Chain A
């Protein structure tokens, strides 16, 4: 992988962003290798990210950006190498307990839940009471400018709105690390610009 690691570049490539809450978390990728058959998606990728840092991975499609993110999120395992979060190797930790917010390339909202319930889902999994859950989810929807759409279902929202709900949903669990996998690729240029600014201000 030609890892063009550009700091603070919110260019619409994959972005490994650091959540700035709770003092921040450091992430260290060490010698990650992953091959799919004959294709080597990752070949000795190492990145060091300080707490609170926003890092963007740039590169042509198929160069392994998504694979790197998926390994950090726990959806994929590396053939060799390790991922350290705050100095601890997280390879044995399943995705559900990694505490990482992720926004996906494709639309990923749960079709059976309203925007508010989508954002509140992670809190529900953390056994947070209904009142508190609704309040926090409401605040986050407000932050992404979708307070008025709280009770709408994903199919009633536009692509940009869906990705903003997905962003709010990922932030709701106050993740240690926020992973954005080309969250803007499904959107047109204008919306992309707006949302990019919004992500940068986080």
Chain B
């Protein structure tokens, strides 16, 4: 047995992606960066100047701030839970048992992006049962539909990066039932994908305006809009705050995701794709 002791144990560094360099490339790179930076940062800077630093202090005390933010956060939490509870088992099932339906499901899940939100909410309000109409639960359910394209894609990308069928069968043959397999094998390997799905869903709910306003709920974006009628500066400050909070969220997820991925070799982590790193051969 000792004869088989490792001779190839030193790790081979992964090949670096070749950089495309052309003459004057460095200069152009900076020009592009500068233009992009101006495009994105100028409005923010203008907003900040308009609002003034003082406005940030008064945002919190403004009437409706706490209740609208609380409503938005609650909607975000409920929507995320519903979305993942719905999409995760569906995606796993389709990958394992109905791989032929993957195309179809991809098509179906993209629909909410194609259908304008106004159409969606007007339709939903027309047919929703009376019990749901008066509650924010209805809004959550509509958001589940809106979040579906993003959540499905994130989870689907995570599942594609795994050899799901084989590891599920391996887990079964080792004596793990469906519960243990889902909990100990599938979920831990989908951590990044689930985080992506969560971030996208949360960001969507925290920023959604049309549907909430048509459903007559004062969520945070609706509150910002309503407030802008009376005090422009405070509402701009609130928007900047919301932007900052969402950005922190995204950053945290990306950092968390890439740490996990470094550990288990899951490859590069972005919000939509979990690129697979090939196992090196002998």
**A: which residues have CB within 8 A of B?**
73-75, 94-102, 104, 106-112, 121-122, 125-126, 143-146, 148-149, 153-156, 158-162, 166, 169-170, 173, 187-188, 190-191, 194-195, 198, 201
Contact = CB atoms under 8 A, between A and B. Distances in A.
Contacts of B175: 96-97, 99, 122, 125-126, 173
Contacts of B169: 73, 75, 95, 102, 104, 108
A158 B281 CA distance: 6
B282 A160 contact: yes
A138 B275 CA distance: 32
Interface residues of B, number: 37
Given A106-B163, A148-B6, 7 more contacts: A98-B173, A102-B170, A104-B170, A107-B166, A145-B5, A166-B170, A188-B281
A188 B6 CA distance: 15
B89 interface: no
A111 B266 contact: yes
Interface of B: 1-6, 8-9, 11, 162-163, 166-167, 169-177, 180, 184-185, 188-189, 191, 263-266, 277, 279-282
B177 A96 contact: yes
B166 A112 contact: no
B172 to A, nearest CB: 4
A113 to B, nearest CB: 8
B235 to A, nearest CB: 45
A145 B265 contact: no
B6 A145 contact: yes
Contacts of A195: 4
A108 B281 contact: no
Contacts of A158: 8, 279-282
A95 B264 contact: no
